[in-house]
Amino acid sequence: MSMHAITLRQENLIGSFTNEVNPVLSIKSGDSIRFQTLDAGWGTGVSYAERLKPFERQGEKDGGHALIGPIYIEEAKQGKTLEIIFNEIVPGSYGFTSAGGYPNWQNQKLHLTQVEELSLNWTLDRQTMSGSCEVQGRVYTVSLSPFLGIVGMPPESGGIHTTWPPRFCGGNIDCKELVQGSKLYLPIPVDGGYLAVGDGHARQGDGEVSCQAIECPMELVDITVNVIDDMPLNNPRAYTPSGWITFGFHEDLNEATVQALDGMLNLMGELYGLQRVEAIALGSAVVDLRITQIVNGVKGVHAFLPHDAFK
């Protein structure tokens, strides 16, 4: 097992998922990687607006979220599972949250127009793990719970795939539970994996209701990557400090819910040897269904099983 470092520079950034570019790093299963990330808007904390322009890589433009990658994992093969362990996540010194500036169905339903755009600037304190912003002369302070909004791989070989939706192989999952100490499990769609990571969030509520969390760069991200042969998955699952999570993604929130619950019933069968009807009966007492996010076109639902669900 080796430790690698990826420096924060232009050639190590990408704004899409693809296996048609040269990876920025090649690793083996069990290796760890340390790196920094920009905020989702290609920011550095000095003048992030200057970094919003898409760049070209091998003739293709990719103007999505600013991600570190892609990272090639030698043992990664289609059909296996990739485990990403979040050893350390340290946010940067600033964050921002915008609202009202997205002309979509949500703002129409909430009677917001593009004219009513607001941007909050947050000061993040890594010592107290708190963030503060000012609204109408009043200072609002929240505790921080940093995580990475995007962790994923290209859904198929070939092509340039947008960073915006969540997929079966990861992507813009935006799950606030994936904090330091968590393990995320993703089905591997292409040989080599071509993992890309970014979209730092200092804190987010379930749903990500304004289309943005507290968007921030990450001063330090430390992950360990493992390839697992005997964990076949259709959708992501995660082991977090507080419980197990299974995910569902679909344009229809009901279908996303069914996918998340289906994954949880499978997991409960693996953990406890339960038949499916037994898992759903016990799950009705201890499993929480949560809306991960509703703002990326493809909606997310996650089912949550606490580690202490059964005494």
- At residue 52 the predicted structure's pLDDT band, cuts being 50, 70 and 90, is very low
Amino acid, single-letter form, for residue 47: S
- Cα–Cα distance measured from residue 254 to residue 233, given in angstroms and rounded to the nearest whole number: 20
User: For residue 142, how many other CB atoms are within 10 A of its CB?
Assistant: 15
Residue 5 has pLDDT above 90, yes or no: yes
Percent of the chain with pLDDT over 90: 78
Number of neighbours of residue 141 by Cβ within 10 angstroms: 12
What sign for the dihedral angle of Cα 272, 171, 201, 212? negative
Judge contact between 302 and 290, C-beta under 8 A: yes
* Nearest CA-CA partner of 289 in 225, 243, 234: 243
**What is the pTM for the complete model shown?**
0.92
Half-sphere exposure of 294 (CA within 13 A, CB side): 15
What is the set of domains in the chain, with CATH numbers? 3-95+143-230 (2.60.120.580), 242-306 (3.10.28.20)
Lowest mean pLDDT among 55-59, 232-236, 271-275: 55-59
Phi-psi region of 29 (alpha: psi -120 to 50; beta: other; left: phi over 0): beta
pLDDT-based confidence at residue 60 (cuts at 50, 70, 90):
very low
Among residues 287, 291, 292, the alpha carbon closest in space to that of 309 is found at: 287
pLDDT in tens, 252-307: 999 999 999 999 999 999 999 999 999 999 999 999 999 999 999 999 999 999 99
